[in-house]
Amino acid sequence: MSNMTREKIGNSLNTHNVSNFSSLIQTNTRNVNEKQKKDTNIQYNIKKAKKLEGKEWSLTSYLIDLLLNTSSLKTRDISSGELSRILSVSPNRLRNLISRLTKKNIVKVISFNKGRDGTRTFEFIKETYDQLIEMKDKDSSIPRVKHEVVEEQVKIFTPKFSFNLEPLSNIGLTPNHIKQILNQAKITPEEIQDSINHFAFDLEHNDKAKTFKLSPLDVFIGMMRKGNYYNAPSNYESQKARNMRLSLEAKTKRQQAEKELEDRLKEIEWKEWSEGLTEDALMEFYVEQTPMASGIPERIQKTLKRKNALANAREYFEGEVWLQRKKEVFNENA
């Protein structure tokens, strides 16, 4: 190979390597720029989040409440009616609030089902959500949603009554809903709690939701705001009664199973014990009750006497032998 050929090949390889290296630098630079741009956007969104106030912050706070104790950044489907009631705003005002939050990249609407009372699913950006959680922790004026026993949130309205929202937590019932219902002053706290229990039972055991034109939450809130008590269905069973029934059924079933085992074991023990008796030992249990009538063949008399002896032996076995044997088998105290 001539020197000139080697020189051309070397120049070609150098040009190729320089081109690859240049491309790599451009790619890395682009990645860095994209990351910086993303970080800048996140910081910008966080700054906008810190400036939230009024209804925008109330809506954001409510959406955060729904995600507490979950690992998701996506909310359940939420109806427009629910949000309008929570925020005490008109449908048009609600649409404007949601639009402003989405434009500020505080939250995204990832699904929207149109209808009489359309539902939306919201999703937070993780970094923004983390900042909002920190802000909410510092804002003690806004109560969080708790799907357990609600007491502090409604204390100013019902100082002697604690609500249990757990039965309807799966449809989104919150302390804010209870507050709204109580403010209507059309139904007592006790009636609200009974209605919660009755409504939850109907949903779970009678598939009542299929008969509703609106979401179960909207139906329930609507009834409560009008002061309409939700009657217990004909097959209603309180949680206390259900727990007692299930406990009783379990104990009864366990006792029946134990008795069956004990009876089977007793029969086996009786068979082994009685078959171990000699004929003379068995006949020692014979007790004459009334003299046998004259004329009965001796063979039949012997059979009747043996039957009498077996009955008395069985009585002795159950009263003496089996009691002692059962204590040994079941480790019962004497």
Residues 127 and 153 occupy one common structural domain: no
Residues 200 and 187 occupy one common structural domain: yes
| Predicted pLDDT of residue 15 | 55
Look at residue 251 and tell me if it is in a domain: no
Residues 104 and 180 occupy one common structural domain: no
Look at residue 63 and tell me if it is in a domain: yes
Nearest Cα neighbor of 163 from 193, 143, 188 is: 193
Separation of alpha carbons 170 and 165, rounded Å: 10
Q: By residue range, what is the domain housing residue 78? A: 52-142
Tokens (6 digits) for 203? 């949903």
Tokens (6 digits) for 107? 């939250």
Angle at 168 between CA 166 and CA 170, to 5 degrees: 95
User: How high is the mean pLDDT in each 10-residue block of the chain (334 residues)?
Assistant: 54 54 59 57 63 82 77 84 81 86 89 78 85 68 41 44 87 88 85 93 92 91 91 89 89 92 92 91 85 80 89 91 86 56
Look at residue 242 and tell me if it is in a domain: no
Look at residue 56 and tell me if it is in a domain: yes
Is the pTM for the entire model greater than 0.75?
A: no
Structural domain count of the chain: 4
Residues 151 and 123 occupy one common structural domain: no
| Predicted pLDDT of residue 151 | 42
**Total residue length of the chain:** 334
Look at residue 250 and tell me if it is in a domain: no
Look at residue 308 and tell me if it is in a domain: yes
| Predicted pLDDT of residue 194 | 93
Residues 137 and 161 occupy one common structural domain: no
Question: The domain spanning residue 127 has which CATH number?
Answer: 1.10.10.10
| Predicted pLDDT of residue 95 | 87
Residues 135 and 211 occupy one common structural domain: no
Q: How many CB atoms lie within 10 A of CB 317?
A: 19
Separation of alpha carbons 187 and 224, rounded Å: 7
| Predicted pLDDT of residue 273 | 92
